[in-house]
A and B are shown apart, each in its own frame.
Chain A
Amino acid sequence: MQTLWLYLYFPQLQLDLLPQLQADAATPDLSKPVVLLHPQQLQVQQANPAAQALGIRPGQSLAHACALCAALQVLPWQSELEQQLLELLAQDCYQLCADLALAPPAALWLRLDPMLQLYGGLDSFLQQLEQLLQQKPGLQFQYGGAVTAEAARLLCLTQPGQIAPTQAAQRLALSQCPVTLLDLTPALLQQLQRLGIGQLGALLQLPATELSRRFGAELQHYLQQIQGQLPPLLHYYQPPEQFCARLELWYQIEHHPQLLAPLRHLLLQLQHYLQRRARRCYQLQLELSLRDQPPLCLKLHSPQAEALAERWLALWQLKLEALKLPAPVLAMQLQASQYCKEEMHSADLYQGKQGQYSPLQLVGLLQAKLGTAQVRRPTEHAAFLPELAGSSQALQQAGEQTITPQLPAPEMAALQLHQPAALYATAVSRAAVKTPAQSTHSAPTAAPLAPGLSATLSATPHRPAFLFAAPVPLQQQVQLMPGLERIQSHWWQGQAQARDYLTAQSADGRWLWLYRTEQQQWFVHGVFA
């Protein structure tokens, strides 16, 4: 089966995308002549239309370009940035065509023949491609198509827009192609030119054995690649598994509100990335490269997985408010982790007005501003000691189940069945033993249980609404109420705890939950508010 390759070339990639890259005041005025200069070779790499109108062409030296225009704005050409931009474009084009290879610095190879049936022909595919690329305003591109990848490249450079779908058409279209465009070593090119071979057509007419004898196997292989007798050596593009984007700033940022504009740019990229995959993510990591300081790493977690840049930006705004930058920021890098599938939530239409945030979004908002540990939820555990049975836990780990209705865990349900019976049996028997007459201690003892109370006891445990994080030593006069509950625990671990819990009212009317240890020490453990 005959292949069809498209070579997509972006001659001014970095310069065209400059306004989108830095949407702020620091962007140079692109209506004036601007060039990107190769920092090592000091040659003009890319020139905008205003500069080209003055005769400045890529490949000219800086002195030449400055001589043509005195008010020329010169910016550095960054090869890493060019690579990043190309990968972004590859991500876009991956939506249209799966067989894709990068051709650095500024081009892509697309293998079209498996896709044509899907799109219903070459024309409709090209139309889709153009629509996609036009979403990036100002981006210039040109393409050429041929049976082999290398031929497509040559065709794109010599006759942009030309498609040669058959071997014969390709041969004809390339016959005029100058040999200087071929991807060969300079020595070989010079050798060809000295022999008077200026065009590809003339080269291909020569017998293959003669060529390989004279120029070596390298040229022979290359020509075979052009003609499709050897497959192209390309690494197909794979979209990244994890989102990671980096942005070099044009100027140093010293105050956090200024960070939001570049951050927004990165978040929009993230949104784009996530929406394409129908995903959301729970956690973002922002790394700020600082001047003369190690980079600053910030993590932001949203219990409600988000995809939208606006939502993330609102959370980052809260997070960054608390931030003091130790040194100016030079660059920022955004990474996303913990992805989940996008699920469509539908609200109840008849419930009336809906609120601004879902519960999980609210938790995310509070956590971003106050810190993750400050937003907690009371949780219950299968334990006998009150401080272990009920504690509050930070809503740290992602997951819908933390804040949506759930069934009790099986072991919890089992404990609920057995615990009260076991505990209150102890409580009643202890109370029966400790009659006031027996008591010889200086500390008070509880009155025995009133008969009516035992029924109330067995129904629900008598627990306070609030528990102190650490028990407070009792330091005031209190009046004890009847009813005692003994909790003995951890004897199996060698740290036996035996506490007699009592209810008491203080002189100012507060209802306290006290306990007495075996050493006759009294503590306030909770408050029946």
Chain B
Amino acid sequence: MQLSELKQQGHVWHLNQAPRPEQALCPTGFAELDVLLGGGWPCQQVIELRTAFGIGEFRLLLPHLQQQSSRNKLQVYINAPAQLHAPFLRSQGLPLWQQLEVRAKEQDALWAAEQCLKSGSCSTVLLWQQSLNIARLKRLQLAAAEGQAELFLLRPSEPSQLSLPVGLSLALSPAPQGLQVRVLKRRGGWPGAQQLVNFSQRWPRLVQPALSPQKEQLTAPAALAI
């Protein structure tokens, strides 16, 4: 009897075809956010974050990236608004060899994200993208599931933008003690819930100082530069 016949009849099978218990949620690293999201980030999906650049959105994802770095796969940053700073990444325990920055035009960025997701060699992909249509999003979702990677889609929060059929969509806004997270959409949950993610423990220098009467508000004027 040929091996191929045995395979067809199911007597012989490859271990790597075995069904794999899906991990539906990965903890975010912030207890209050886990409560809000019902356990953590949904795994192997597209997650939309409506956020401005620089309010703490990267620090919100950092525990997740740190946790994923143990998988020894790449973490890809596509069209980040500025260069990643290596000393920061290293101080946060993210191995530099895993980090990859990609710059591309808008259409090519979607292509690159899809390739990274479905390659199976990336754990997390962060994509800064303005516009996206539903068909491209579907492709990204399939690619994320195929390659077992998460895609964080970071978009500016403009109210007029098309709502996308993503599994999870969050709006982030700055707050004195951290970041205000509002659920725009969540599969298996209700939208509208809000939660303050407190950064004062992790990032004491990046929150407004706790209220004190002698607090000195210093302001810098617009400086003239060359």
B-binding residues in A (CB < 8 A):
349-359, 361-363, 365-366, 369-370, 374-380, 386, 389-392, 395, 402-406, 436, 442-447, 452-453, 456, 460-469, 473-483, 503-506, 508-512, 514, 520-523, 526-529
Contact = CB atoms under 8 A, between A and B. Distances in A.
B20 A352 contact: yes
A380 B86 contact: yes
Contact of B95 (A349, A405, A463): A405
Contacts of A503: 205-206
B222 A476 contact: yes
Contact of B96 (A377, A389, A444, A512): A377
Contact of B97 (A349, A405, A444, A510): A405
Contacts, number: 238
B219 A479 contact: yes
A20 to B, nearest CB: 30
A389 B91 CA distance: 13
A369 B112 contact: yes
Contact of B52 (A377, A480, A504, A508): A508
Given A353-B16, A374-B104, A464 B73 contact: no
B174 A443 contact: no
Contacts of A481: 205-206, 209
B91 A461 contact: yes
Given A356-B120, A359-B73, A478-B219, A461 B174 contact: no
A520 B221 CA distance: 12
A504 B220 contact: yes
A20 B149 CA distance: 43
Contacts of B225: 473-474, 521-523
A469 B120 contact: no
B83 interface: yes
B119 A361 contact: yes
A371 to B, nearest CB: 9
B56 interface: yes
Contacts of A405: 72, 95, 97
Interface in B68-95: 72-74, 80-91, 95
B102 A509 contact: no
A413 to B, nearest CB: 11
Contact of B101 (A376, A447, A483, A511): A376
A457 to B, nearest CB: 8
B90 to A, nearest CB: 6
B158 interface: no
Contacts of A475: 222-223
Given A375-B102, A476-B222, A403 B97 contact: yes
A447 B111 CA distance: 48
B3 interface: no
B64 interface: no
Interface residues of B, number: 67
Nearest to A401: B97
A396 to B, nearest CB: 14
B101 to A, nearest CB: 4
Given A436-B216, A511-B206, 18 more contacts: A356-B119, A356-B147, A362-B74, A362-B115, A375-B100, A378-B83, A380-B87, A380-B96, A390-B87, A405-B95, A405-B97, A443-B223, A452-B204, A461-B91, A473-B224, A478-B219, A506-B54, A522-B223
6 contacts: A355-B147, A379-B86, A404-B97, A442-B221, A465-B84, A477-B220
Contacts of B99: 377-378
A477 B222 contact: yes
A462 B218 contact: no
A528 B104 CA distance: 23
B103 interface: yes
B162 interface: no
Given A356-B120, A380-B90, A476-B222, A391 B83 contact: yes
B87 to A, nearest CB: 5
Contact of A370 (B96, B103, B148): B103
Contacts of B16: 349, 351-354
Interface in B104-155: 104, 108, 111-112, 115-116, 118-122, 147-148
Contact of A357 (B18, B102, B120, B219): B120
Given A375-B100, A405-B72, A528-B206, A355 B59 contact: no
B110 to A, nearest CB: 12
B123 to A, nearest CB: 11
A479 B56 CA distance: 16
B147 A443 contact: no
A514 B222 CA distance: 12
B57 interface: yes
A381 to B, nearest CB: 8
Nearest to A416: B90
B87, B95, B174, B205: which has the most chain A beta carbons within 10 Å? B87
Contacts of B122: 359, 362
Nearest to A359: B121
A349 B205 contact: no
Contacts of A466: 54, 58, 80-85
A443 B220 contact: yes
B55 interface: yes
Contacts of B80: 466
A84 B58 CA distance: 58
Contacts of B95: 405
B54 A528 contact: yes
Contacts of A377: 96-97, 99-101
B223 to A, nearest CB: 4
Interface string B157-189: 000000000000000011100000000000000
A495 B85 CA distance: 23
A386 B108 contact: no
